[in-house]
Amino acid sequence: MKFLIVGLGNPGAKYAHTRHNIGFEILDDLAIEEGVVFVSDRYADISRFKARGKQFVMIKPSTYMNNSGKAVNYWMQKEKINSNNLLVVLDDVALDQGVIRIKPQGSAGGHNGLSDIISTLKTTAVPRLRFGIGNNYAKGYQVEYVLSRWSSEEKEALVTRIKLAGQAIKHFAFHGLNNTMNEFNNK
């Protein structure tokens, strides 16, 4: 069984460690935990590991957030992974910082990366792990907020939540989407 785990973010130092790149950070943390590294490949940085008989293919698209669908579609085809074994990890301003919500499908909720994936795959049935980044910004300043970096206090508070998101990703492969939703959506 092979799973494609997609962390959404933007490549480059300019965007590193911003709220919008939490998908990259969650996958980076999981890669460290599993003792693997990301390497640059077509449309994405990619890393692989095996656990309990499952193969994990993790990608961080290098296509920039608004064109994430191109990378997702390419790697789904290349690795022959169907959408049931896809999990997109993304930031969500509608959730308080560190809150995790796993859903099997739905609208993009205003997230341009997820919107492009839905449009490219031509389905809203895209399993996703939404990670709350909060919405502590003034009206009209959402872009500046999501592209801002975490404060040192926020980063410290996120450590355990990022680890929990990594556990949820593995749980998704081991136990399925519904079980993972039941286990992690209220933590």
Domains of the chain with CATH codes: 2-184 (3.40.50.1470)
Question: Closest by alpha carbon to 28, among 70, 2, 59?
Answer: 59
Q: What is the mean pLDDT of residues 46-70?
A: 97
Given a cut of 90, is residue 186 above it in pLDDT?
no
Q: Over the stretch 91-145, which tens digit does the pLDDT of each residue have?
A: 999 999 999 999 999 999 999 999 999 999 999 999 999 999 999 899 999 999 9
- Asked about 20 being catalytic, the answer comes back as yes
Q: What are phi and psi of 102, to 5 degrees?
A: -110, 130
β-bridge mates for residue 87, sequence order = 5
First to last CA, the chain: 27
User: Distance between CA 168 and CA 176 in Å, rounded?
Assistant: 10
The pTM for the full model equals 0.96
Taking only Cα atoms into account, the Rg of the chain, rounded to an integer number of angstroms, comes to 15
Catalytic residue among 17, 20, 111, 175: 20
